[in-house]
C-alpha cells in the first residue's frame, strides 16, 4: 500500500483531529475527481508498518482519529493498519468510494464514508449527496454534521 500524502485534518471526521493518509491506486476514477494523482498505484511512498507506527506515535495525544482516504482495494493491508491504530487508542475512519466494504474491515472502523464522488450530487456538505458518513457501531447516518445551517 502506498500513500501520496499525510495531513492533519479537522473537517473530514467531525469532532476529531485526524491523521489522514491519502492512499494511491484508486480504481474508481470518478468523473470530476479532485485527486486524480491518487489513481496510479505506483505514486507516492510505501506505507510500511514501521512508518505507520512512527506517525501514530508522533501525533499521540494530539490526533484522535486515523483516516484513510481509500485503501479498501488492498483490504488485508488496510485491516492490519486499522488494527494497529485501534490498539494505539485511535478512532478509525475510511473514506470509500464503494457502497459497501467487507465486514472484516468494517469491524475495525469507528466511522465510514461510502459512495463514489458524483459531481452533480456533490459531497457530504450537500443535502442531495449520494455519499453517506456513518458511525459504524450504531449504523447512524451523520451527514447532518457536514451541512451548515
CA distances, 21 to each of 2, 75, 119 (Å): 9, 15, 23
Size of the chain in residues: 149
Using one digit for the tens of pLDDT, what is the confidence trace for 99-137? 999 999 999 999 999 999 898 999 999 999 999 999 999
Domain ranges of the chain: 2-146
pLDDT at 36: 82
Q: How much is the pLDDT for 143? A: 96
Superfamily of domain 2-146: Aldolase class I (3.20.20.70)
Average predicted confidence (pLDDT) for the chain: 95
SS (H, E, C) 53-107: HHHHHHCECCECEEEEECCCCCHHHHHHHHHHHHHCCCEEEEECCCCCCCHHHHC
Q: Is 149 a residue whose pLDDT tops 80?
A: no
Pairwise CA distance, residues 23 & 4, whole Å = 6
Enclosing H/E stretch for 20: strand 18-23
Amino acid at each position: 500500500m502506498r500513500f501520496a500524502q499525510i495531513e492533519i485534518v479537522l473537517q473530514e471526521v467531525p469532532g476529531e483531529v485526524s491523521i489522514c493518509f491519502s492512499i494511491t491506486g484508486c480504481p474508481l476514477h470518478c468523473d470530476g475527481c479532485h485527486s486524480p494523482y491518487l489513481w496510479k498505484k505506483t505514486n507516492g511512498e510505501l506505507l510500511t508498518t514501521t512508518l505507520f507506527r512512527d506517525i501514530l506515535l508522533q501525533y499521540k495525544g494530539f490526533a484522535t482519529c486515523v483516516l484513510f482516504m481509500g485503501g479498501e482495494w488492498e483490504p488485508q493491508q488496510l485491516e492490519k493498519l486499522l488494527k494497529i491504530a485501534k490498539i494505539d487508542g485511535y478512532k478509525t475512519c475510511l473514506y470509500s468510494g464503494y457502497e459497501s466494504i467487507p465486514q472484516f474491515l468494517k469491524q475495525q472502523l469507528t466511522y465510514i464514508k461510502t459512495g463514489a464522488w458524483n459531481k452533480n450530487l456533490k459531497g457530504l456538505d450537500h443535502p442531495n449527496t449520494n455519499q453517506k458518513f456513518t458511525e459504524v457501531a450504531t449504523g447512524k447516518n451523520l451527514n447532518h454534521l457536514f451541512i451548515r445551517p
